[in-house]
Structure 1
């Protein structure tokens, strides 16, 4: 039972930090927090994403571009301008690396107030650090895997962050249902988002880009991250900016 528990723990902790810290905070600034808590969640993102750590700064900038230019040639990850899923992921990687390495020509308005802890940005992007996480995951499987078949899950551990991104950026622009008419192909991938902590309600999010609750428009649309956000807001860890609906700023 150790391996499935470890896999699920890694999956859900990683996607939680992606939706909570990278997406709702870094990109959309749906809530504010102190610099101390920001560093805490930076560190938690580094731990949960491990070998596939995504820079909150680069993620925030790139996601703002996605909302501003969804399903156009300027979208960093549009299925409509990609040959297949892997072509889209490679284009996303190129955009991401250009931002991380300050090679981009992105207008300053997309970079406004994105979090940027230089040390953690540097540490999380070191190849030796990423390989260290790979070694840890592999060792856990070597010690606890009851069958070699379980090792097939290791690539998902290694690329957890990009896998989560690909599920939404590709499949939630291809499949699902819509609640709202929007100027792109964003869809709600799952009626009940048991997989992506609310990220699957992509059509809802593209209609109301600053709304902290991604679900809630139909009885079955439960956003698992939303109760946690309310709890953190009540505890004073964050301060939700209620009533925002703008796309990305």
Structure 2
């Protein structure tokens, strides 16, 4: 079974990383979602890709300058469309609750806090605490571009599967990085990915997921090469054989 990961939720038809975007995944038969988590000044874990609010809310400024109390005044939906006016920046706890209600699985990407390792450790701790409330039947995969973060999470949660995230230009020692993180799953960029590279990954026994694939033709090609999953913004456009009713 090939897996579709709804990248930041159903982000082509709803504002990314919002409860609205994740709710649409269930409506369209996607059981796996991808989200990004970061931390506020007071330690609250929220879903947000950037370390600023500028791109996807009606506010500006560093994420690390706001608190949970500020979330009531932050609109994360009106930039996308009138029907999403008032959509909030969700907390990780709210996301976990929604996962439980809709029976979703999630790839949680931990953002390496740009202001301090201390904050990053708090973020890791917050994610671990949040996951304790997840239904036991749910599947979760933790990923990060920063191997130090991923290795620390894996050290503290050895039973939770992790995935190493790599940019298009992969380091020569990528395999050593994966081994250090105890990761059997690799997340690689779609751009420039070749069949030979996929075969190299698969020959090593790795699970291979590719981001971000917004072409049905390219997704089909990747799956035929042996890729296990793709991250996409357009999960609603994929044929029913990739989705569950």
TM-score, reference length from structure 2: 0.30
Which protein is richer in strand relative to its size?
A: 2
Normalised by the length of structure 1, the TM-score is: 0.29
> Which structure carries more relative contact order (alpha carbon 8 Å, separation 6+)?
1
- Which of the two has greater helix per residue? 1
